[in-house]
Amino acid sequence: MENLNLFGAEMKFNYDGKILYKTSVGMFLSILFYILTGVFIFLTGQDFLKRLNPKTFTSTSFDNDYKLQDISDLELLFRVTDPNGMNFFDPSVINFRATFISLSVNNSVVRPKGIKPLEIIKCSRDMIKNEVILNTTNIEAFFCLNKKDIEVGGYFDSSFVNFVSIEVTKCINNPICKDINVIDDILAKNKYFLSFIIPETTISPNNYEKGLGSVPKTLLTSVDPFIATLSDYFFSKTNMISDYGWITKEIKDNNALGFNYENKKNFKIKDDQMIINVMIYINKY
């Protein structure tokens, strides 16, 4: 019957007139809790205000299929140097030749779609956007390409391939050329190198303004008058998606085109003119 009584009185106990009994130990633990909570809020708040420690996803691949990429802004600087890094360019000995090549591929049958000579010009500072290259390189000592409206992509395992070919050639069939034996002797004795400066992608998730950047990478190829070198330079596009939000999402999307890897092959020269051929590709992975 007691359980049916609706008018029971609630009982409360107190200590010295207070319903809460507080101890010095409890006060110490409370202060410690407030301090830790404040430190946590300060640190995480700093991350939020300074855009630090984002949730980040990066990928260095295109979609499932190859795509064309405009390379107008891709920095490609090149020159021939001696072992001490001094420039060598004597048109009576060597020359550069650059070509844009577009091919169709069907069941391993390759057919030309278009071939376009590219203008080779002396580099100038207004042509270079990469600040690291500008601050660390004597830009005027290099050659560049006029790559306006040039799109590169695909490969021989797809239905098409567009690439850029840059060659170092011996001077032949020109009144200014030295005798071929003299040319071979000059190149053999001086141990020249083809030097390329190209961008390599860097990833900095804590850099809110520019999470993807690039640093200059130097690739060297020996100029041998008797051994030809074919070098494939593969570039990839890196995508980085970052969430800098603290409570709500704050997405920032970055992308950059940079050097991925190199394939190099050597063989005995059959064409008396071509010494080095560097081919620029963009791959999907």
Per-residue pLDDT of 153-163, as tens digits, reads 988 888 899 99
DSSP 40-57: HHHHHHHHHHHT-S-EEE
What pLDDT score does 166 carry?
A: 96
Residue 45 has pLDDT above 80, yes or no: no
Residue 122 has pLDDT above 80, yes or no: yes
pTM of the model: 0.74
pLDDT: which is higher, 277 or 245: 277
Residue 75 has pLDDT above 70, yes or no: yes
Where would I find the beta strands (DSSP E) of the chain?
55-59, 69-70, 77-81, 94-106, 109-117, 120-122, 143-145, 151-154, 160-170, 193-203, 212-222, 227-243, 251-268, 274-282
Give, in degrees to the nearest 5, the angle at Cα 149 between 143 and 150. Answer: 65
Going by C-alpha positions, the residue among 99, 92, 185, 103 that lies closest to residue 145 is: 99
How far are the Cα atoms of 62, 79, 171, 233 from residue 96, in angstroms, in the given order?
32, 9, 10, 17
Residue keyed to tokens 């590219």: 118
- CA distance linking residue 184 with residue 252, whole number of Å: 54
Tens digit of pLDDT for each residue in 134-143?
A: 888 899 999 9
